[in-house]
Amino acid sequence: MALKLAIIGIGYIGSEIIKNLYKFQNKIELKAVFDIEKDKMEKVIDLHPNVRLMSFITDFDDCDIIVESATQQVVETVFDKVIQTGKIFLPMSVGAFISYDNLYSNYTQLEESQKKLIKLPSGAIGGFDCIDALNLVGIQKAELTTRKPLKVFVNHKYVKDHDLKLSENEKTLIFKGNAKKAAQIFPRSINVAARLALSTLGPKKTAVSIYSEPSINKNIHEIEISSDVGEYKFSFQNNPSPINPRTSWLAALSILEVLGKIS
């Protein structure tokens, strides 16, 4: 029987999932959707009349898989119910797990059987097969350097509050600190720091630097890991999605990859 899917957040990523569900050959069936913008839900129902509009954000009792593709706050809101009801949970806004202290401690204290039901997509980065193997021995250093186009930072509140001067010709350091602070300051765009932290040294010991770089039109993430096993460097040069330039194309594909493994 097909696994029943609920999607919370029908923006770019939510819509991409719906468009691509046919690839799972009827092993996953879209059952219910929720979005704060009602017209987005209604558009889904127009195309898929058997799908149900959720009446509230945790109205997913009849579903097996819950996808969050909305905001960090939504992850925090639904987490307890997802755990209590034993659903498979695919959160896109993984920054939530390190932005909210209560969520981080609830997540890290889950029993192994519960944790297995939370499938963290690799998002806009990867290499987690290697990282998970290194964890069997231990990781000493985990660093992320993110470079994004200048336009991402123009008018950003943090840039204004800190009176940062953005160069139009050279790379400018915007932020240097740990993953926890990065996820709080850049909630929409630094899920990668959170994803890396959750699989390496945690929110406070995973180092993050963020640069504005006028000459690029991609989001570039470079990861350096040190372990007794060796030294590792990963580089991801992500093209923006042709549909939503604010999101890396790879991020939407990563959640489809997880769904493919479950189906």
Site residues (vs ligand NAD, CB under 6 A): 8-14, 34-37, 40, 57, 69-71, 74, 92-94, 121, 123-124, 188, 191-192, 195, 244, 247-248, 251
Instruction: Indicate which residue of 48, 156, 162, 221 is catalytic.
Output: 221
**Distance of closest approach, residue 241 Cβ to ligand NAD, in angstroms:** 8
Q: Specify the pairing of strand 141-148 against strand 219-227.
A: antiparallel
Tell me the residue number closest to ligand NAD, measured at CB.
Answer: 11
Residues contacting 236, CB < 8 A, separation 6+: 124, 125, 126, 220, 221, 222, 223, 250
Annotated active-site residue 221? The verdict is: yes
Determine contact, residues 215/126, Cβ cutoff 8 Å.
no
SS3 for 78-141, per residue? HHHHHHHCCCEEEECCCCHHHHCHHHHHHHHCCCHHHHCCECCCCCCCCCHHHHHHHCCCCCCE
Residue 116 beta carbon to ligand NAD: minimum distance, rounded to whole angstroms: 19
Instruction: Pick between residue 97 and residue 211 the one whose CB is nearest to ligand NAD.
Output: 97
CB of 78 to ligand NAD, least distance (A): 9
Half-sphere exposure of 77 (CA within 13 A, CB side): 13
Assigned token pair, 260: 């493919």
Distance of alpha carbon 91 from alpha carbon 43, whole angstroms: 23
End-to-end CA separation in angstroms for the chain: 10
In the complex, the smallest distance separating the C-beta of residue 12 from ligand NAD, rounded to whole angstroms, is 4
Cβ nearer to ligand NAD, comparing 126 with 202:
126
CB 172 within 8 A of CB 165: yes
Residue closer to ligand NAD, measured from CB, 2 or 57: 57
CB of 231 to ligand NAD, least distance (A): 24
> CA–CA separation, 102 vs 91, rounded Å?
16
By beta-carbon proximity to ligand NAD, the closer residue of 57 and 256 is 57
Query: At its nearest, how many Å lie between ligand NAD and the CB of residue 40?
Result: 5
Distances (CA, A) of 185 to 153, 155, 158: 12, 14, 7
Active site residues: 221
